[in-house]
Structure 1
Amino acid sequence: MFALLPLRRLLICCLSLLALAGCDRPSAIALDQQVYIWQRQWRAAHAQALVASHADFSTLRVLVAQAHPNEGWIQARIDNDLLRQDGRPLIAVIRLDGQLPRLDSSAIDQHIQTTVRNWQASGLNLRGVEIDHDCANNRLSAYAQLLHTVRAELPAGLTLSITALPAWLSSKALPTVLQEVDSSVLQVHAVSRPEAGLFDAQLALRWANAYGAVSSKPFHLALPAYGVALTENGDVESEAPLPQGGSRRELHAKPEDVAKLLRDMQAAPVPHLTGLIWFRLPLAGDRRAWPLVTLQAVLHQQPLRSNLQVTVQQQGELFELRLVNSGNLSAALPTLIRNDAAHCESGDGVQGYRLQRAANTLEFVRQSPGQLAAGQSRALGWLRCSQLDHGGFRVSP
Structure 2
Amino acid sequence: MVFLTRLIVLLAATGLLNGCERQDAPPLDQQLYVWQRQWTPAHEAALQDSRADFSTLRVLALQAFPQAGWSRARIDPALLKGDGRPVIAVVRLDGQLKSLDQHEVTAQIQRVLDDWQGKGLNLSGVEIDHDAGNARLPAYRAFLVHLRSVLPASLPLSITALPSWLDSPELPALLSTVDSSVLQVHAVSDPRSGLFDPSQARKWVKAWSRITSKPFYLALPAYGVALLPGDNGAPLVESEVSLERGGTRRELLADPRQLSQLGRQLRQDPPAHLAGLIWFRLPLANDRRAWSLTTLRAVARGDALDSRLTLELSAKEGLYDISLGNQGNLDTAWPERVTLAVQGCEGADALAGYALQQNPDLLTFTRLRDGRIAAGGQRAIGWARCANIDQGASNVHP
- Match for residue 94 of structure 2 among 83, 92, 97: 97
The one-letter code of the counterpart of 2:19 is: C
For 1:100 and 1:320, the matched residues in 2 are separated by 53
Q: Look up the match of 2:2.
A: 3
Q: Look up the match of 1:328.
A: 329
Q: Look up the match of 1:158.
A: 155
Q: Look up the match of 1:174.
A: 171
Structure 1 pair 131/369, CA: closer, same or farther in 2 (3 Å)?
same
- Match for residue 47 of structure 1 among 40, 44, 47: 44
For 2:317 and 2:54, the matched residues in 1 are separated by 47
Q: Look up the match of 1:131.
A: 128
In structure 1, the gaps of 5 or more residues are: none
1:264 and 2:265 correspond? yes
For 1:391 and 1:46, the matched residues in 2 are separated by 40
| Cα shift at 1:249 | 1.3
Q: Look up the match of 1:29.
A: 26
1:184 and 2:209 correspond? no
The one-letter code of the counterpart of 1:269 is: P
1:112 and 2:114 correspond? no
1:186-205 alignment to 2 at 5 Å?
186-205=183-202
| Cα shift at 1:385 | 2.6
Whether the 8 Å CA contact 1:353–1:381 is kept in 2: the answer is no
Whether the 8 Å CA contact 2:215–2:274 is kept in 1: the answer is yes
1:138-157 alignment to 2 at 5 Å?
138-157=135-154
The one-letter code of the counterpart of 2:229 is: E
Q: 1:6-65: CA deviations, max 9, x gaps?
A: 9xx94x765554333221014323111110111111111111211111112111111111
Whether the 8 Å CA contact 1:163–1:186 is kept in 2: the answer is yes
Q: RMSD value over aligned CA atoms?
A: 1.9
Whether the 8 Å CA contact 1:60–1:89 is kept in 2: the answer is yes
Whether the 8 Å CA contact 2:325–2:373 is kept in 1: the answer is no
Whether the 8 Å CA contact 2:335–2:367 is kept in 1: the answer is no
Q: Look up the match of 1:249.
A: 250
For 1:336 and 1:216, the matched residues in 2 are separated by 53
Structure 1 pair 341/155, CA: closer, same or farther in 2 (3 Å)?
same
For 2:392 and 2:377, the matched residues in 1 are separated by 19
For 2:386 and 2:356, the matched residues in 1 are separated by 18
SS in 2 for 1:192: coil
Q: Look up the match of 2:277.
A: 276
Query: Mean Cα displacement is larger for which, 308-317 or 193-202?
Result: 308-317
For 1:327 and 1:355, the matched residues in 2 are separated by 29
Query: Mean Cα displacement is larger for which, 24-33 or 169-178?
Result: 24-33
| Cα shift at 1:170 | 1.1
The one-letter code of the counterpart of 1:126 is: L
Whether the 8 Å CA contact 2:66–2:94 is kept in 1: the answer is yes
Q: 1:329-386: CA deviations, max 9, x gaps?
A: 232322332333235444233331313226xx42323142423232332222222233
1:308-387 alignment to 2 at 5 Å?
308-351=309-352, 352-357=354-359, 361-374=361-374, 375-387=376-388
Whether the 8 Å CA contact 1:307–1:325 is kept in 2: the answer is yes
| Cα shift at 1:75 | 1.3
Whether the 8 Å CA contact 2:85–2:122 is kept in 1: the answer is yes
1:295-310 alignment to 2 at 5 Å?
295-310=296-311
| Cα shift at 1:160 | 0.5
Q: State the aligned residue count.
A: 391
Whether the 8 Å CA contact 1:36–1:277 is kept in 2: the answer is yes
Structure 1 stretches of 4+ with a deviation exceeding 6 A read none
Whether the 8 Å CA contact 2:373–2:379 is kept in 1: the answer is no
For 1:283 and 1:3, the matched residues in 2 are separated by 68
Q: Look up the match of 1:76.
A: 73
For 1:16 and 1:156, the matched residues in 2 are separated by 50
| Cα shift at 1:391 | 5.0
Structure 1 pair 130/367, CA: closer, same or farther in 2 (3 Å)?
closer
For 2:327 and 2:10, the matched residues in 1 are separated by 51
Structure 1 pair 238/269, CA: closer, same or farther in 2 (3 Å)?
same
The one-letter code of the counterpart of 2:171 is: L
SS in 2 for 1:186: strand
The one-letter code of the counterpart of 1:366 is: T
For 2:341 and 2:237, the matched residues in 1 are separated by 46
Structure 1 pair 113/332, CA: closer, same or farther in 2 (3 Å)?
closer
The one-letter code of the counterpart of 1:27 is: D
For 1:172 and 1:125, the matched residues in 2 are separated by 36
